[in-house]
Structure 1
Amino acid sequence: MSTMKPSKPLSYAVLGFGYSFLYLPILLLIIYSFNESKLVTVWSGFSTKWYWALLEDDELITAALLSIKIALMTATASVVVGTWAGFVLARLNRFRLFPLFAGMVNAPLVIPEVIQGISLLLLFVAMEQAFGWPEGRGVFTIWIGHVMLCVSYVAIIVQSRVRELNRSLEEAAMDLGARPLKVFFVITLPLISQALVSGWLLSFTLSLDDLVLTAFLSGPGSTTLPMVVFSRVRLGLNPEMNALATLFILVVSVGVVAGNLYMRSAQRKRDREMQLAFKQA
């Protein structure tokens, strides 16, 4: 029975349409960040004045720096907690409360952020009334909410990577007398470093972009960049936002490329070490 294969021109056309749909808006945003006109939808000439105006916008810069700070803290904490959670999901799945543990780890993936934000807000209010901590909402409460959300993504990435590992190296290390904790840090952790980098980048992006949780958990003096952008967009588009978005796209692109280069280099290094180990054996 013959099967029809799609033609190459049609495949290229569908692929081109998909990429255009995804990346054309970003390209237009970058182009209009150099627009001289204050109207972001009307091109009047090339200019970099909005980048200079961005340097004088204290509110936008302060919010951007705060968002980056929270995103860095969230990504780091999420990788630490999510790595252990993903390892438990992949390897230690025989204890009695494992279904409950797996459900708690995966719950933030399916529960709407609005529900999570309301739940955390009620929790922090009740804790403040009962214990006097935390005192109001701010950077700490936002960080807790973002970590709760991002840990699930890191755990899923780490879990899938750990399940693909060849356990012969870990078993050989334990046969030679290494304790399980040392095996994890010396053998397992380097092998899943690609998953850790991916989880860190994903957590950083999710935290930097989050609006719903932040709106519930923020307080005076803790306004993040998405909140500032959302409040300004309701009054009209601002060309300075295009400039700031372009800078963020540049930074994130450099980070993603650097992460991919690191993961490819680490993979080639591991392949060489594995080949050398097999030759010596």
Structure 2
Amino acid sequence: MLFLNELLDELQSGDYFLLYVLVSAIAISVIFAIIGTIVSMNKLVFIAGGVSHASFGGVGIGFLLAYHFGWKNFIDYSGPIYSALVFAMFVATVIYFLTRHQKRYSDAVIGAMWALGMAIGVICIERVPGLKISIESYLFGSILYVNSLDTIILCILAVILSILFFVFYKTILSMSYDEEFASIRGIPVNLLYFITLQFISIAIVLSINFIGIILVIALLTMAPYIMERFLHSMKQIVMGAIVLNLIFCICGLAIAYQFDMNTGPCIVVFAAIIFFISISAQKVLKKA
């Protein structure tokens, strides 16, 4: 396989770019398996989609601030990711306070934040003359911008989420299946819900350079949903989703590298094919 051959050649020559990409894929597989399972079981997919698309506003604001204040080092691919992170966490906070206790209007609020964030991003980027960086890279992902710092941050996040998930497993499980019962048991459900939204924001934004703003929600939800159809334990679902996400990422990367295409769309198309095959397979097994 061309991707693996290139990886071995780069390692021998002292170039670690593809190694960073591979390690990032492993970290993202862990992050998305944990966050995606929680998102799927708590029916937070629309919120995750809203935060993801709204984060584009943070990208635009980052470019605009860098241009006006002369932050030349900030106008690269990674700089606006951090402004997008702050903006996404702000959006998640707004969504929490406006929808947590008034779920009747939650779809309208999330939809408004979704559209507002995208609009702010477009307006801000239009105000930056001579922008040389491709905006498509933020929307659909590009491994060309993966670096050692991004890889380290993703690995740290993967470790933190793994520790939190297994330490607070029973609490997360209780909240996911029955919030009222969890609240009666003294579990701070509202605080955990708020923290969950913040981790969703962090996971989404830090994976933008790998999968893209528009496509990230697909990779976040497909693997856990597939595992839910065949497994019942939350731990089993997460472990299965890690393996499945890793398969999606590596196969998508190999396809993208082989045919010189963007990584995000290749990963999502491959994942979607497996997703629909799994649905069909389950229906066949039920009839058998």
What is the TM-score with the length of structure 2 in the denominator? 0.30
What is the TM-score with the length of structure 1 in the denominator? 0.31
- Pair member with larger Rg: 1
